[in-house]
Structure 1
Amino acid sequence: MSDRPTPPIVSATPFVTDAQIAEAAALLDAGQLVAFPTETVYGLGGDAENPQAVARIYEAKGRPANHPVIVHLAPHGDPQYWVEHLPADAQRLIDAFWPGPLTLILKRAARIPAAVSGGQDSVGLRCPSHPVAQALLAAFGARRGGHGGVAAPSANRFGHVSPTTAQHVRDEFGAGVHVLDGGACEVGIESTILDLSRGFPALLRPGRVTPHEIADVLGVAPRLPDGSDATAPRASGTLKAHYAPRTPLALLPFEALEPLLAQARVSGTRVALVARASRAGAWADMANVHFVAAPEDPHVYARELYGLLRALDRADVSRIFVEKLPDTPDWIAVNDRLGRAAAAFEASE
């Protein structure tokens, strides 16, 4: 068993009442969409067994129909209902990490509509730890004899920065989506995605649950993504360009950022610099540099990342320069998100 720290759980806001949970569950039951908080990011949820509801998610997000979504289950939900077979390794990981920020990719049961899987024969399952999410999933599950699951990608337009507050969701969709406000998300980036559908563990997306922690449970390290795994199932948030702000973003080692900062100083262009204070030096005080001191702790950085990118989109800067972070296991998830955000602008460099 891993000696990992238990992922923190956000306290339920007093503004989410039992009546509001019941109303949201009824909307899901009627095939409508509900945005709700998890410990990772806010999700845009619909009934996972209702292809029309899932289609509404794709339409609202502008998401490609072949890009799968993750099914969220209540703590007492039955993952075996959703899969062809629940391997022993999957049960060990469920026991170790659920509720929490780990998604498992498994072979989908024939009864489950292919819409949630982008047409694939696999399905992504997770059980969130946020109490508002758990209350909603339990209430919806009760309407479905204990088998209700909610398909819920991040509650934002496809490819954009994920939301970590209810206001972020409202900024994306206005009044068009029913939102449960459970406060700010504690983890702040999407769940780790681990594929178990091919007989071996393979990491498809890094997150708070690390490869080392997974290896502690399984006794074998998962395969890491290197771009060469042609048989890997498609999974949420694994496109090369993703999680992008509107403002062009460049992710480079600090020594490679300095010439770009110097060029901006000469031209008088206002830019943003996100770097650790120990590296920024005099650049932090330049008149045309909007400096943000990056957190030194990877968990804090992850929690603040998406809110920071959204704030920089409002900061009246022409570009966002971000210091590349250490290439160590602790930083794998933050580097992944920043790398995908930067990739959205690389073609135009």
Structure 2
Amino acid sequence: MKDTMIVEIYPTEIDSRLMNECANILKQGGTVAFPTETVYGLGANALDSKAVKKIFEAKGRPSDNPLIVHVAKTEEILPLVKEIPEKAHRVIEKFWPGPLTLIFEKSSIIPYEISAGLSTVAIRMPSHPIAIRLIEESGVPIAAPSANISGRPSPTKAEHVIEDLIGKVDAIIAGGACNVGVESTVLDMTGQVPMILRPGGVTKEMLEEVLGEVVIDPAVENPNEINGTPKAPGMKYTHYAPKAEVIIIQGDLNNTVNKIKDIRLSYEAENKIVGVICTDETRDKYEEGIVKSMGSRKHPETIAANLFKVLREFDDTDVEIILSEAVDNVEIGQAIMNRLKKAAGYRIIEAE
């Protein structure tokens, strides 16, 4: 077990000495967990195969699940890719830094482990001040998947990272809560038409305003469409799952509430402990049991920010079954439903 250093750094007042210590760990081939605007990431030098392997070991991550490389400046992409298509320049100018990952044809310096043997590499520029500063101080591109045990809900607070990775990584930067709350949108720029491989904070509608036609990979809705190595992180495996079984109920909102109540009663008749994930608009409709709201349907960005936190909170209870309301599968709701479906292993019940 490693002796993990926990470092408190405030985004508004970054301590140069502490940041330098963490950057040195990365330079020396170590692992550092750090906050981004989406979720906490577990970082290592993206150009060091041995360092990258430590990420997979700490997370228990399948080796055929590619990683995202983080940079601090656009020009840092150039050595990592074969070319930057014209359409990529457009979205970089509009959405970087921010929660958007772009997939390019990779250059020869990208280690096999980063791309899981694919000919492509995923790159993004985070907007979180701690993440940017860490990349700048370390002087290397940083490979960083979410800083959690593989398959568990992604970490949006330092406490989540500590719970999962203490003793498994060299350092954890505690830098407050992440404000977006779901991982970045992944956009494949290697084909004729840009393709979303993972929905996130930059929505299809936002991308279409800049690029025109944008399509969504069929595997986003149906993971059975994936053959072999997935093209982007998080496509192939059950993810974001708490310890309890998750079931999604979708349909008309009133019907959904009633269906959840009926299902809860049937499980409780079997002496199962049932929890409910709802929204602010329906919270008062569930009078009994362990009920947690993700946020407001009027402000779906609050649901995105709270989703993983709520899933993790259930791990501190005795709940065996979690019944979750669905949200509208549009704009940021696509990202929310993508994560919820993976947490549920795609188990969905229609409320009729």
Normalising TM by the smaller chain, what interval?
Answer: 0.7 to 0.9
- Say which of 221, 231, 235 aligns to 1:234: 231
Query: Which residue is 2:313 aligned to?
Result: 311
Residue identity opposite 1:325 in structure 2: V
Query: Which residue is 1:320 aligned to?
Result: 322
Query: What are the within-5 Å matches in structure 2 for residues 1-12 of structure 1?
Result: 12=11
Query: Secondary structure of 1:343's match?
Result: coil
Query: Which residue is 1:7 aligned to?
Result: none
| Residues 72 and 136, structure 2, Cα contact 8 Å, conserved in 1 | yes
* Structure 1 position 192 matched with structure 2 position 179: no
- Say which of 16, 22, 34 aligns to 2:20: 22
- Residues 99 and 273 of structure 1, relative CA distance in 2, 3 Å threshold: same
Query: Secondary structure of 2:324's match?
Result: strand
Measured after TM superposition, the shift of residue 248 of structure 1 is: 1.1
Question: What is the root-mean-square deviation in Å for CA atoms of aligned residues?
Answer: 2.2
Higher mean C-alpha deviation, range 210-219 or range 325-334? 325-334
- Residues 269 and 74 of structure 1, relative CA distance in 2, 3 Å threshold: same
- Say which of 269, 273, 276 aligns to 2:272: 269
CA distance in 2, matches of 1:202, 1:161: 25
Residue identity opposite 1:294 in structure 2: M
- Residues 51 and 269 of structure 1, relative CA distance in 2, 3 Å threshold: same
Query: Which residue is 1:172 aligned to?
Result: 164
What runs of 5+ residues in structure 2 fail to find an aligned partner? Answer: 1-8, 251-255
- Say which of 299, 302, 307 aligns to 1:300: 302
TM-score (norm 2): 0.87
Measured after TM superposition, the shift of residue 250 of structure 1 is: 0.8
CA distance in 2, matches of 1:33, 1:340: 27
Measured after TM superposition, the shift of residue 260 of structure 1 is: 1.1
TM-score (norm 1): 0.88
Measured after TM superposition, the shift of residue 13 of structure 1 is: 4.8
| Residues 151 and 238, structure 2, Cα contact 8 Å, conserved in 1 | yes
- Residues 280 and 265 of structure 1, relative CA distance in 2, 3 Å threshold: farther
What runs of 5+ residues in structure 1 fail to find an aligned partner? Answer: 1-9, 142-147
Query: Which residue is 1:206 aligned to?
Result: 199
Residue identity opposite 1:101 in structure 2: P
Render the CA deviation track for 1:206-261: whole Å, top value 9, x for unaligned.
Answer: 00100111111112223443545769952111125211111111111225423211
| Residues 239 and 342, structure 2, Cα contact 8 Å, conserved in 1 | yes
- Residues 76 and 202 of structure 1, relative CA distance in 2, 3 Å threshold: closer
CA distance in 1, matches of 2:211, 2:176: 34
Query: What are the within-5 Å matches in structure 2 for residues 63-212 of structure 1?
Result: 63-75=61-73, 77-141=75-139, 148-177=140-169, 178-212=171-205
| Residues 166 and 183, structure 1, Cα contact 8 Å, conserved in 2 | yes
Measured after TM superposition, the shift of residue 123 of structure 1 is: 0.1
Render the CA deviation track for 1:304-330: whole Å, top value 9, x for unaligned.
Answer: 111111111112212111011123334
- Residues 330 and 179 of structure 1, relative CA distance in 2, 3 Å threshold: closer
Residue identity opposite 1:241 in structure 2: T
- Say which of 326, 335, 338 aligns to 1:336: 338
Render the CA deviation track for 1:69-119: whole Å, top value 9, x for unaligned.
Answer: 000001354212110111011111111110000000110012222220011
* Structure 1 position 225 matched with structure 2 position 224: no
| Residues 277 and 294, structure 1, Cα contact 8 Å, conserved in 2 | yes
CA distance in 1, matches of 2:226, 2:313: 36
Query: Secondary structure of 2:174's match?
Result: coil
